[in-house]
Structure 1
Amino acid sequence: MDQELRTGIAHWLTSIGIDTQPSDGISSAIMVVACLVIALAAYIFVKRGVVTTMNLVIQRSKAHWDDIFMRHQVLEKMAVMVPVLILNILMPLALNDHKVLSSLSDRLLDVTIVVLFVRAIYSALDAANEIADYNLVSRRLPIKSFVQLAKLFMFFVAIIISISVLADQSPIYFLSGLGVATGLVMLVFRDTILGFVAGIQLAANRMVSPGDWIEMDNFGANGTVEEVSLTTVKVRNFDQTLTMLPAYSLTSGSFRNWRGMSESGGRRIKRAVQIDIQSVRFLTESDMRSLSKINHLKDYFSSKSAEIITYNAQVEDADMYVNSRHLTNLGTFRAYIQEYLTQHDKIRKDMTLMVRQLAPTELGVPIELYIFTNDTRWEYYEGIQADIFDHIFAILPEFDLRVYQGPTGADIRSLRH
């Protein structure tokens, strides 16, 4: 194709009286200079005319993706190819009488075109990756891994084509030699190959995406995924340090992804208050009159009192606590916390909402809250949790309950006296 184009240009130049086969060095030099001038003029026209005009159109456009292409200077890098393409066509005509120089310049220009083409494609791929990040496509697919793989593939193709052009051999000749070096390639690019395969698995199963909060104790990672590349996953920990995880470690090992929590809109609180067993007792009539004034317990006392009166009426010697049913301060406290959380505006009502008593231990009776907040942001979640337990600790004396605390050194010494 190039030869046909050169022949056509040569016939056209001959028809207008220009000698396309100069016989002396001065004529050849003049032709070379003329080629350079034409190439420079073409570059100026494309750069300041076509590219500048298109950039103005892009700036006025409401679309965002074209601004990203302009920021990565894709058009500018493609414009650089224009003068090289012109030189690649015209230089053999100017150096027609100098076969060695003509062949050398032709090969060098061919390699330059390959390099500039790959450079422009690299910029286009970077722009496409940024567009995918902007449109959140990277949260579903490992776009950066595909981009890096495409760059790696194009790099090897460019190297093979460049060597074949310089050596004046068919690229197939060099490609056939890759079979012998397959073992070496597998060894050198082991992490790249494993990372790519892992990237496909991560994407297919939606195991991890940029923006996810993951924990991987083996590598000390606990933070937000910033980047999923061909070989590594970059995690910014909550202490602002960075952890680089091998991509294949996420498929070969275990890790925790908190994305489900974020997408559900509810974050779990699972914490217990240790109640001193010695403070647990039955409620007296005076206690019931006092506690029944609490708004969150009015319905509870109304239903429970009727139920207990009905039950005790059928029991002999109901005046003995062991024979009859009675309310306890701990059970009433659980009922209060249940109703308090049900009415709390920061707690999800459509998710598990439970106040339960766990098995007693040497630290007392655990009363555990198993609930979900409606705000998953860490700082707000911690604030909601702290407010709830502040209220619980402050309200315990109203039920004549105490939080268990282990004896201190001073307490033990006081017992000895």
Structure 2
Amino acid sequence: MHNLLEKTFGWLYPLLRKLNFGETLSSYISLVFNIIILCFLAYFIYVVFRLILVTIMAIVAKKTKTNFDDLLVSNQTAKYIAHLIPFLFIYKSVPVILESYVYWESVFGKMVGVYIILLSLWIVRSILKAIRDYLKEQPKYSDKPIDSYIQVIMIVLWIFGVGVIISKIFDIDKGTLLGTLGAISAVIILIFRDTILGFVASVQVSLNDMVRIGDWITFDKYGADGDVIEINLATVKVRNFDNTTTTIPTYSLISDSFRNWRGMLNSDGRRIKRHLLIKAKSIKFLNDAELLKMKEIQLVSEYIDKKQTEINNYNKTYNIDKSLAINGRNMTNFGLFRKYITKYLENYPGINKNMILLCRQLQPTSHGIPLEIYAFTKDQRFEEYEYVMSDIFDHIIASISFFDLEIYELPTDKNSLEY
């Protein structure tokens, strides 16, 4: 290679000397001519290799079934390689052309060398981007934080590349450079604090499977409530349900508390946990006449017969004086209503009967007695879930009056309302 370059660029100077040109003039004329030849040859090599590489890669991309080569084409990998080849030629030619100009040979050689390193990093970056895009298209990798891995690799390569560039420009030994970087590691850690934290968080998030792309998460601290669309070293992007985008620092996923709804979406149901406040004064014992009337409610008719027989037998066994309703055992409108709701939920088609289903009474409050519905819908989709829950509570609210119960509401003065 060296002999070929000497034949290409070393023939003019001897010729000019034979033609009795001065040494200095011959040297400058030869230098200018060789630079022109070098630029022409470099451009020719670039055009040829760009045509060859781009054409071959395009043909291969069409012939193969895999989509990876198409992604290499779209990320312009062939064009970057075509740029690199002529600069390698220039780098090899500089010592021959500038052999008599040691200082300029050193300066120009370092400049070309730095550009070759940067261009090499750019080629690797384009290949990694193609790998990233390819993996994102694969179902088993679609929910993985591929961007984070690619960014970590690129950071390592850039650190290595910058180290090589510094050592090349200032002629520093690589061992000395690494020792110097170790001495200023505290400063480096301070500068790259967020990147380091993001890297650690990305690894932990991935290893512990805390968040995947496509997961629905709720992060109250940052006002995020939607689907994760991107995970990288610095940030996690969440597309909220109003189509806004919230950006969350990656390390906050391990330092703060957030809610991931993946478990619910992968389960057999979505939980309903909502309560109504019942007026305490409306709760009462039921007499025989009221029970007879409530037997007309089909869902609790059989229950009333069974429970009434059980209660009557108990009261007779223990000779209970029923002149007062408080004596012995009795049914209440509130207890009967809870049983009615339970039966109603058991017969409702949108409720998953294989999961927990109950209607329970909570701790009394100053606003009334909370009556809570705890059940799971079959359909986890947001629209269907809201429809089922609303339909159930519509029915419950409308049913309350049939049991002589009242829902607590803050008192209002109608006369003070302005229309």
| TM superposition score normalised by structure 2 | 0.82
Alignment match, 2:346: 342
Alignment match, 1:314: 317
1:354 corresponds to 2:319: no
Q: What is the deviation of 1:284?
A: 5.0
Total equivalences in the alignment: 403
Alignment match, 1:389: 393
**What does residue range 167-186 of structure 1 map to in structure 2 within 5 Å?**
167-186=170-189
Deviations 1:344-384 (A, max 9, x none): 23222232211111233332222100112233333432222
- CA RMSD, 1 decimal: 3.3
Aligned partner of 2:234 among 223, 231, 234: 231
Q: Tell me: CA distance 1:119–1:265, structure 2 relative to 1, closer, same or farther (3 Å).
A: farther
Alignment match, 1:75: 78
1:374 corresponds to 2:370: no
* Conserved 8 A contact 1:21-1:94: no
* Conserved 8 A contact 1:142-1:203: yes
What one-letter code is carried by the residue in structure 1 that aligns with 2:74? R
Alignment match, 2:203: 200
1:158 corresponds to 2:161: yes
* Conserved 8 A contact 1:216-1:256: yes
> What SS is found at the alignment partner of 1:281?
coil
Q: Tell me: CA distance 1:129–1:292, structure 2 relative to 1, closer, same or farther (3 Å).
A: farther
Query: How many percent of aligned residue pairs carry the same amino acid?
Result: 36
Deviations 1:2-21 (A, max 9, x none): xxx434x34xx85xxx6745
* Conserved 8 A contact 1:329-1:401: yes
Q: Tell me: CA distance 1:56–1:281, structure 2 relative to 1, closer, same or farther (3 Å).
A: farther
* Conserved 8 A contact 1:351-1:372: yes
Alignment match, 1:6: 2
Q: Equivalents in 2 of 1:59, 1:387: separation in Å?
A: 55
Q: What is the deviation of 1:275?
A: 1.8
> What SS is found at the alignment partner of 2:317?
coil
Q: Tell me: CA distance 1:106–1:275, structure 2 relative to 1, closer, same or farther (3 Å).
A: same
Is the deviation greater in 114-123 or in 312-321?
312-321
1:327 corresponds to 2:323: no
Q: Tell me: CA distance 1:343–1:47, structure 2 relative to 1, closer, same or farther (3 Å).
A: farther
Q: What is the deviation of 1:139?
A: 7.2
> What SS is found at the alignment partner of 1:361?
coil
Q: Tell me: CA distance 1:296–1:34, structure 2 relative to 1, closer, same or farther (3 Å).
A: farther
Alignment match, 1:250: 253
Deviations 1:323-362 (A, max 9, x none): 4544333222212211221222322223221111123333
Is the deviation greater in 303-312 or in 187-196?
303-312
Q: Tell me: CA distance 1:395–1:19, structure 2 relative to 1, closer, same or farther (3 Å).
A: closer
Q: Tell me: CA distance 1:342–1:6, structure 2 relative to 1, closer, same or farther (3 Å).
A: farther
Q: Equivalents in 2 of 1:96, 1:385: separation in Å?
A: 85
Q: Equivalents in 2 of 1:332, 1:60: separation in Å?
A: 73
What one-letter code is carried by the residue in structure 1 that aligns with 2:228? V
Q: Equivalents in 2 of 1:34, 1:391: separation in Å?
A: 90
Alignment match, 2:368: 364
Q: What is the deviation of 1:271?
A: 0.9
Alignment match, 2:19: none
* Conserved 8 A contact 2:278-2:371: yes
